[in-house]
Amino acid sequence: MQNISIKTVEYESPQMNKGISCVASAWARVPVAPSLEEKVALKERIKRLLKEKQAVLVAHYYTDGDLQDLAEETGGCVSDSLEMARFGRDHPAKTLVVAGVRFMGETAKILSPEKRILMPDLDATCSLDLGCPVDEFTAFCDAHPDRVVVVYANTSAAVKARADWMVTSSIGLQIVAHLHAQGKKIIWAPDKHLGQYIQSQTGADMLLWQGACLVHDEFKGIELELLMKEHPNAKVLVHPESPASVVALADVVGSTSQIIAAAQQLDAPEFIVATDRGIFHKMQQAVPGKRLIEAPTAGNSATCKSCANCPWMAMNSLANLAEVLETGKNEIHIDPEIGRKARTCIDRMLDFAAQQKKNVRPGGDLAKEGALFSGVGPA
C-alpha cells in the first residue's frame, strides 16, 4: 500500500442562477515518489501485467513522465483526451487503461462501451468538471431553450449527454463559427477563458458558463511581461484556457499538441510555456537543444495554488497503475442511456470534422494548420 498524503485544492465554482462565482474546495491524493529501484521494478511489473491482461495504456501529456514513457514503450499512446479515447477505440485490446482524469476515462468508455476501461485513480478529477455539475447545468440550459448547447471535452458524461455538441479546442472555433453562420445562439461550457476567446474570434452570441481550469487560470499577464523582458529571445506558447491578458502576449496560442509542434518548428533558443508543466516531458524530447521556461503562476510575495501542475493528474502513479492491473478495480461505468446520448454529441463533432476534411488532432504543420489552431487547443 502506498504512503500518501491529502492536499486541499481550491477551484472556481460558478453559481449561474445567482450570477456569481464562489471558491470551492476539493482534495487530491499526493502519492509518494518511488525510489529508483522501486521504479524499475514497478515498470517491469506493469509491462508484464499489460501483456497478461491484453491491455493497452494511454496517458495524457500532463501525467508523470514515467507513465508517458511507459505508454509508448508498451504500444500505447501519449496525447490529448480525445485522441486517447480514439486510440483506445481503434486498438484491438479489450482493456484500456487511462492515465489521466476521470472525464478522460468516461470519454473512452463512451466511444468504446464494449471495452473495459480502468483508471489508476477514479478520484482524479478536473476543476472544469467539478465546476459544472449536471443538475445545475441542466437547469441553466433549460432556462435558455433557444440556445444550442456546446460543451468542451473537460466535462462529465452526464453533462455531455445534455449537450448538442461536444468540442475539443482543435475544432471548437470552426463549430462555433458554423453555428453562428446559421444564426444560432449558443450556451458554452464550462471554460470561460476558452469561451471568451472563441467568442472574440467568431462574434457569436455565446452565453458562457463561468468555470476555469485551476492550472491555466493562475497564469499572470503582468508577471509574464516581466519574464519576457528577462528572456527577450524567447517565444511565448500559451494554452487558450489561460486568461486573456496572458493569451494577448503569446506568439502561439494553441493546444497541447500544437504547443509541442510550435517548439519544434519555431526558430527560437528558448520558450516560455503557459500550460501544465507535465507537457515539458514530451516537449523536451521533441526539442532537446532548447530551453523551456514555465510561465509564472504567482506574483511577488504570492503563493501559487496549482503551480502549473494539475494536482489530479499527479494522482496517477506507477504504483496505483500496477495495482489496478493486478486487481481490475477502478473500472469506469456509465449508464448506457447517458453514454448513448453523450456519444451523439461527440459523433456530431467527428462527423463535422470529416465533412470539413480536417482531423480533430493537429498534424503539426503550423503554416498549414494555423487558421485551424489559432487560439484553440485540447486540454
What single DSSP character describes residue 191?
B
3-state secondary structure of 276: coil
* Polymer length in residues for the chain: 379
The predicted pLDDT at position 82 comes to 78
The predicted pLDDT at position 301 comes to 52
The predicted pLDDT at position 208 comes to 97
3-state secondary structure of 281: helix
Contact (CB, 8 A) for 63 and 100? yes
Cα–Cα distances (Å) from 327 to 49, 51, 102, 322, 330, in that order, read 11, 15, 19, 9, 9
Confidence at 83, pLDDT banded by 50, 70, 90: confident
> Is residue 259's pLDDT more than 90?
yes
CB-side neighbour CA atoms (13 Å) of 91: 24
Residues contacting 131, CB < 8 A, separation 6+: 11, 12, 13, 14, 24, 190, 211, 212
Q: What is the mean pLDDT of the chain?
A: 91
Residue 178 burial (CB < 10 Å; 0-12/13-18/19+)? middle
Query: In this predicted structure, which of 98-112, 181-195, 294-308 has the lowest mean pLDDT?
Result: 294-308
The predicted pLDDT at position 371 comes to 40
Cα–Cα distances (Å) from 162 to 22, 158, 188, 204, 363, in that order, read 24, 7, 12, 21, 31
- Average pLDDT of the residues in 182-196: 97
In whole angstroms, give the CA distance from residue 156 to residue 215.
19
In the chain, the percentage of residues whose pLDDT exceeds 70 is: 91
Would strands 55-60 and 270-274 be described as parallel, antiparallel, or unpaired? unpaired
In the chain, the percentage of residues whose pLDDT exceeds 90 is: 79
The predicted pLDDT at position 18 comes to 80
Query: In this predicted structure, which of 197-206, 312-321, 358-367 has the lowest mean pLDDT?
Result: 358-367
- Answer yes or no: pTM beyond 0.85: yes
The predicted pLDDT at position 153 comes to 94
Contact (CB, 8 A) for 324 and 330? yes
Confidence at 169, pLDDT banded by 50, 70, 90: confident
State the residue for C-alpha cell 468504446.
112
